[in-house]
Amino acid sequence: MTAMIDLFDTPTDWIELDDCTLPYYRVGSGPDVVLVHGWPLDSRTWRNLLPRLSASYTCHMFDMPGAGRSRWTRKARVGLRENAVALRKCIDAIGLSSYALIGHDSGACFARLVAADDPDRVRGLVAGNTEIPGHEPWQLRVMGPLLKLPGGIAGFKAMLRHKIGRRSSLGFGGCFDDTELAEGEFFELFVRPLIEDPRAMAGQLLLGENLDFAVVHSLREAHGKITAPTRFIWGVDDPWFPLDKARAMPAQMGGEADLVTISPGKLFAHEEFPDLFLDHAAPILACGLEGVEAAA
């Protein structure tokens, strides 16, 4: 596995929230950057960006409620807006005064909601293939009812056990340009736990169970409140969040914003092309965090 993966063996600390406890990971030195993972991943999805990124920045990561090594109860409030609140509480808990955000997928939704609510501290925002106001992925519309059917979760696990299923449109076929990347390290980190650990599957499903598209559509309003320099980084062939619809978002932002593409690339472009993703993110981080010192 990737050398940086060892970082995640022992959390730097644990953040206590209502009905859940989240592991916190910190690495690097320099201005502060918070990286926010998407679904159904955890903080380890940033492992291939961290060697370069942590050479110039202090990187902060949390496993969101239900994901990774987070500890949670069935009373835990998990959803797009609820996870944004949890993210903000984590940032407050570690005492960041100025920071940039890098988010992917649902993590970039949480990040945008935080950036809209915390304009004085957020100095830059990078969002990779993520929710688009006005768009509801058909995959989520199909998966939700299927998983609620008797035997639905068992059937989903059975699909993930086989390469053909893993590489289908309801598996990870829409995530990687090279579907072979759904195997190997990625499989061990993110797929095998869904198959073999009932709690891991239950935790990841919490977000899906409480998915509220009204929050997605409200992002248009949130965008207008984000004044930090923003860059959307898009895998051009993403079937979940289509590029043609994503192109409308930079004009919605309250500050300077643009969209750049990764081709080839799909939903998990940051996993498949980490160096290119970071090359695109670097100017936003440099601009937003120029002259900013790391938190003590």
Q: Which residues contact 231 (CB under 8 A, 6 or more apart)?
A: 125, 126, 127, 257, 258, 259, 260, 280, 281, 283, 284
Helices (H) and strands (E) in the chain, counts: 14, 9
Instruction: Give per-residue burial for 30-45: e unless 16+ CB within 10 Å, then b.
Output: bbbbbbbbbbbbbbbb
Q: What is the pLDDT of residues 25-35, one digit of tens each?
A: 999 999 999 99
User: How far lies 68's CA from each of 56, 71, 86, in Å?
Assistant: 26, 9, 15
**pLDDT at position 73:** 87
**Could you give the angle at which helices 106-117 and 80-93 cross, rounded to 10 degrees?**
60
Classify strands 20-28 and 71-72 as parallel, antiparallel or unpaired.
Answer: antiparallel
**pLDDT at position 123:** 97
Among the listed residues 160, 128, 151, 188, the one whose alpha carbon sits nearest the alpha carbon of residue 2 = 188
- Among 112-116, 143-147, 244-248, the minimum mean pLDDT is found in 143-147
pTM of the predicted model, to two decimals?
Answer: 0.96
How far is residue 230 CA from its own chain's centroid? 16
| Domains within the chain, CATH numbers bracketed | 3-135+213-288 (3.40.50.1820)
Mean pLDDT to the nearest integer, 279-294: 87
pLDDT tops 60 at residue 1: no
pLDDT tops 90 at residue 124: yes
**pLDDT at position 296:** 58
Mean pLDDT to the nearest integer, 34-44: 98
Mean pLDDT to the nearest integer, 122-144: 94
Backbone conformation region of residue 87, classed left if phi is above 0, alpha if psi is from -120 to 50, else beta? alpha
Residue 196, token pair as written in the block? 């073999």
**pLDDT at position 51:** 96
pLDDT tops 80 at residue 172: yes
DSSP state of 264: S
Average pLDDT along the chain = 94
Confidence grade of residue 147 (pLDDT, cut at 50, 70, 90): confident
Confidence grade of residue 276 (pLDDT, cut at 50, 70, 90): very high
C-alpha span between 79 and 188 (Å, rounded): 26
**pLDDT at position 74:** 79
Confidence grade of residue 208 (pLDDT, cut at 50, 70, 90): confident
pLDDT tops 80 at residue 120: yes
